[in-house]
Amino acid sequence: MRVFVFLCLCACATTPAHGTWSDRTLAASNDGVLCDHRVPERACVKHHPGLEGEFKRVGDWCGEHGVPESQCLLCHPDLTFQPLPVLPASADVRWLAGTGDAIGPLETHAVPGKVTVVDFYADWCAPCRKVDAFMFELVSRRSDLALRKANVGSWETPLAREHLRDVPTLPSVVVFSAKGKLVKRVNGLDLPALQAAIDEAWR
């Protein structure tokens, strides 16, 4: 008898340890060219079968669907490789430390006089890309808004241990008022709640 166990990797946002998600696919998305498989053409294994071994070697492979985990739209229907809006030089956006590095107390990153949004994200988190699209657009036209991005890496990093102990899922976004007061933390993708928190911080 064959016992069939389906290990759901699509909950990668909460259990990334179950799947190895390389940044190989996302790194190929910079030129914005998507193939008819809706993935970055340069990294598509259906177009470039020679890449298969490379993905399998780093464990970035969905055996169920025969594509890299980081390209599997069946396991990750939210996945999007659409290029992010280009940030103007005036946009106040900074990445805090390196991937997974501790960043110290959050309030020290609140920018005086601006509403500050600290965005905890990971490259394997598809919904996080939607926060990027939303925030990049907003921070491009508001000079009284600052965006600070923190790449979590995995749930095992110093950064995750420091700030995500009680956070069940990514993205996790923290909003500070212009006076540096914590207004709200929004866990999981909830753009209306994020917009409401920013509006409240501006009031």
Segment interacting with Zn ion (CB under 5 A) among 20-28, 54-62, 90-98, 116-124: 54-62
What spatial distance separates the first Cα and last Cα of the chain, rounded to whole Å? 64
Q: How many CB atoms within 10 Å of residue 83?
A: 14
How far apart are CB 44 and Zn ion at their closest, in Å? 3
Contact between 75 and Zn ion (CB under 5 A)?
A: yes
Residue 187, C-beta contacts closer than 8 angstroms, at least 6 positions apart: 167, 168, 169, 171, 172
Contact between 46 and Zn ion (CB under 5 A)?
A: yes
Residue 95, C-beta contacts closer than 8 angstroms, at least 6 positions apart: 148, 149, 150, 151
Task: Select 63 or 88, whichever has its Cβ closest to Zn ion.
Answer: 63
Segment interacting with Zn ion (CB under 5 A) among 39-47, 51-59, 143-151, 153-161: 39-47
How far apart are CB 150 and Zn ion at their closest, in Å? 28
Contact between 44 and Zn ion (CB under 5 A)?
A: yes
Task: Select 123 or 132, whichever has its Cβ closest to Zn ion.
Answer: 123
Summarize as ranges the residues that interact with Zn ion (CB under 5 A): 35, 37, 44, 46-47, 62, 64-65, 72, 74-75
